[in-house]
Amino acid sequence: MKDEEMKPLIAFGIESTAHTFGIGIVDSDKRILANVRRAYSTEQEGMIPAKVADFHIKNAEEIIREALTKANLSMKDIGLISFSQGPGMGHCLRVGAIIARSLALKYKIPIIGVNHCIAHLEIGKALTEAKDPVLLYASGANTQIIAFESNRYRIFGESLDIGVGNFIDAFARYIKLGFPGGPKIEALAKQSDNYIMLPYVVKGMDVSFGGILTNLKQKYDSGMYKIEDLCYSMQETVFAMLIEVSERAMAHCRKNELLLGGGVACNKRLQEMAEKMATERGAKAYFLENQFNVDNGAMIAWLGILEYLRGKRQTISETGIRPYWRTDEEEY
Ligand code: AMP
Ligand code: MG
């Protein structure tokens, strides 16, 4: 009996807020036993919610099997089912939620729905030395500066229009680089150091990208600028905006750790700027392996464990999806 009590809790996390269907298997000793994911992509168009949901349905079984095989476990070993309850695209969230409920009912395992944005913060704390960081969460759909302050995960700044990743992808699509555009733009930007003036749009603690996108498109259409210079200038401008508001959040909260998360956090230039800012103010910047920057099941499993150990319990009827779930809704 004693042995049984000492066994770590193993959580099975399901991510399906947007383009990625991911399964992570993580235990309460922070061991990542599996982190398998597949992302929907297109040549031309953007994401059509019903099509992405179909993609998740088609791939789910294979990814679940792959994750269990990788972890060398069966569903009977799982002590907790955790899933992204929001925020995200309704069609996609529903697929993950239905799978989570089905597994929980079939194998009689407790189920917990977690907040996707908070999962990005908590996996960063689990996998780095960061104890209480400000998170610059820069992904496709989301751009938020998040920190835990006075019993809530709070948003200190965010994009007033599109997420920085979607902005980068939109420009990449416009200059015919395909999707996702981030890595291709990064490679082109490396070939230039010729800065072309672009609008710099920080409003208080918030940022906005729509006007910069229009300006970039006009510059591209004029044929007067090299693509490499535009990519370089774009990165320098929007990353400086993100680092500026991150720094202000750190000063405001008196925190001396900065964590980067989200797909755009894979960008080496953004990491370099974060490192420089942190060093200059006597703070420290933390970066994750790319597999934990992008949307992934491991972070969902891990946040499920934290919530469960904090005492959270949910009945099946409480597991409805929350597409517009705000990071700061719950008190801890
Ligand atoms: P996520 O929504 O967090 O899964 O991240 C996807 C977004 O990250 C897409 O918009 C990508 O274009 C972007 N992204 C991925 N790699 C990079 C990179 N190296 N530089 C900039 N953006 C990137
Ligand atoms: Mg994300």
User: Ligand 1 centroid vs 182 CA: distance in angstroms?
Assistant: 5
User: Ligand 1 centroid vs 184 CA: distance in angstroms?
Assistant: 10
- Residue nearest ligand 1's atom 8 by CA: 263
Is the pLDDT score of 215 beyond 90?
yes
Is the pLDDT score of 42 beyond 90?
no
Name the CATH topology of 132-287. Answer: Nucleotidyltransferase; domain 5 (3.30.420)
Q: What percent of the chain clears pLDDT 70, i.e. is strictly above it? A: 97
Out of 266, 270, 292, 295, give the residue to mutate to test ligand 1, the one with the largest number of ligand atoms within 8 Å of its CB: 266
Is the pLDDT score of 3 beyond 80?
no
SS3 223: coil
Confidence band of 33 (pLDDT split at 50, 70, 90): very high
pTM for the model stands at 0.94
Q: Do the domains spanning 3-120+293-329 and 132-287 agree at the CATH topology level?
A: yes
Is the pLDDT score of 332 beyond 90?
no
Task: Report domain extents, the chain.
Answer: 3-120+293-329, 132-287
Mean pLDDT of 4-26: 92
Determine the atom of ligand 1 nearest the C-alpha atom of 262: 3
Confidence band of 189 (pLDDT split at 50, 70, 90): very high
- The pLDDT score that the predictor gives to residue 196 is 98
Task: Check if the beta carbon of residue 40 is closer than 8 Å to that of residue 22.
Answer: no
Domain range 3-120+293-329, its CATH number among 3.90.1530.10, 3.30.420.40, 3.40.50.300, 3.40.50.1100: 3.30.420.40
Is the pLDDT score of 44 beyond 70?
no
Mean pLDDT of 138-157: 94
- The pLDDT score that the predictor gives to residue 4 is 53
- The pLDDT score that the predictor gives to residue 178 is 80
Instruction: Tell me the per-residue pLDDT of 276-314, one tens digit each, with 9 for 90 and over.
Output: 999 999 999 999 999 999 999 999 999 999 999 999 999
- Residue nearest ligand 1's atom 11 by CA: 182
Find tokens 């809530």 and name the residue: 152
Mean pLDDT of 79-98: 97
**Consecutive H or E run containing 65:** helix 49-71
- Which ligand is closest in space to the CA of residue 290? 1
- The pLDDT score that the predictor gives to residue 179 is 76
Is the pLDDT score of 1 beyond 60?
no
Q: Which string of DSSP letters, residue by residue, matches 154-222?
A: EEEEEBSSS-HHHHHHHHHHHTT--SS-HHHHHHHHTT----------EETTEE--HHHHHHHHHHHHH
Out of 89, 167, 264, give the residue to mutate to test ligand 1, the one with the largest number of ligand atoms within 8 Å of its CB: 264
Confidence band of 180 (pLDDT split at 50, 70, 90): confident
Identify the residues whose C-beta falls under 6 Å from ligand 1: 20, 139-140, 165, 168-169, 180-183, 186, 262-264, 266-267, 294-295
Determine whether 310 is exposed, middle or buried from the number of CB atoms within 10 Å of its CB (0-12, 13-18, 19+).
exposed
**Consecutive H or E run containing 145:** strand 143-149
Q: Which string of DSSP letters, residue by residue, matches 32-54?
A: EEEEEEEE---SSS---HHHHHH
Confidence band of 330 (pLDDT split at 50, 70, 90): confident
Instruction: Tell me the per-residue pLDDT of 239-277, one tens digit each, with 9 for 90 and over.
Output: 999 999 999 999 999 999 999 999 999 999 999 999 999
Mean pLDDT of 62-66: 98
Is the pLDDT score of 2 beyond 60?
no
Mean pLDDT of the chain: 95
Q: Which residues of 170-191 are buried (b: 16+ CB within 10 A; e: fewer)?
A: bbbbebebebbbbebbbebbee
